[in-house]
């Protein structure tokens, strides 16, 4: 037993090149095709579709409730909208986000719970939602069914990086709002990554400045 932390005051070493893997769209499609085999209830397939469409953190998706989905079509939400609760998100971002056509179609496949019920109810704990560990276990089971190797240092975060990187050409403020980031530095440093197609565009398609 010691009376103090010997590491107190020392900054932990930083990795010069931290691993931040990004999932490919082909990987998502392979997992989506195997989702119902990994989870015969069909809920994991819907969960994957929301991961792909929204880019939210797993904890926020696991705790979605029936009341968080508004199916009413509007001028800026033709397929309805979904609510991100601040108390279920790491950065406390709270807002309505429009649904894509694919996300709405996935949600329509769910057996709808009673008012206030969770979209992804725990199979063991009555009245509770999925834990992120349960979602991760389903992902690992789905990877086996799809014949895929797990991504080192991954689980669902490579899909959040995929979501952010696919939207690099869009206004940063809107990407931050839809995905639940408060800090643009975190988005740019840890999530959006360069890729060969974008690099080629940068090098070969500049907007020439006039006199």
Edge-first strand order for the sheet with 69-70 is: 69-70, 81-84, 95-98
How many other C-beta atoms are found inside a 10 Å radius of the C-beta of residue 29?
A: 12
Averaged over 73-101, what is the pLDDT? 90
Q: What is the pLDDT of residues 4-34, one digit of tens each?
A: 887 777 777 766 666 789 999 999 999 999 9
**Domain residue limits, the chain:** 25-204
Averaged over 116-140, what is the pLDDT? 93
Residue 62: closest CA among 122, 144, 151, 143: 122
What is the pTM for the complete model shown?
A: 0.86
Identify the pLDDT of residue 211. Answer: 87
Looking at the chain, the whole-number percentage of residues with pLDDT higher than 70 is 97
How high is the mean pLDDT of the chain? 90
107 pLDDT above the threshold of 80: yes
Q: Which CATH superfamily is domain 25-204 in?
A: Intergrase catalytic core (1.10.443.10)
Q: What is the 3-state secondary structure (H, E, C) of 1-40?
A: CCCCCCCCCCCCCCCCCCCCCCCCHHHHHHHHHHHHHHCC
Identify the pLDDT of residue 76. Answer: 94
């Amino acid at each position: 037993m010691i009376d103090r932390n010997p590491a107190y005051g020392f900054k932990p070493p930083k990795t010069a090149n931290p691993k931040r893997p990004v999932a490919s769209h082909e990987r998502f499609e392979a997992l989506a095709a195997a989702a119902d085999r990994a989870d015969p209830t069909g809920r994991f397939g819907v969960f994957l579709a929301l991961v792909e469409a929204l880019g939210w953190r797993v904890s926020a998706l696991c705790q979605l409730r029936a009341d968080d989905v508004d199916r009413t079509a509007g001028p800026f939400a033709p397929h309805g909208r979904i609510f991100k609760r601040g108390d279920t998100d790491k950065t406390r971002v709270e807002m309505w986000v429009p649904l894509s056509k694919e996300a709405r179609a996935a949600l329509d496949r769910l057996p709808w719970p009673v008012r206030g019920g969770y979209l992804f109810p725990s199979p063991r704990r009555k009245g509770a939602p999925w834990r992120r560990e349960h979602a991760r276990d389903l992902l690992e089971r789905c990877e086996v069914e799809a014949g895929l190797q797990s991504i080192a240092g991954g689980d669902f975060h490579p899909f959040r990086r995929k979501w952010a990187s696919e939207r690099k050409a869009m206004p940063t403020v809107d990407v931050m709002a839809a995905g639940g980031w408060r800090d643009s530095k975190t988005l740019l440093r840890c999530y959006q990554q360069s890729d060969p197609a974008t690099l080629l565009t940068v090098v070969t398609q500049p907007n020439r400045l006039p006199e």
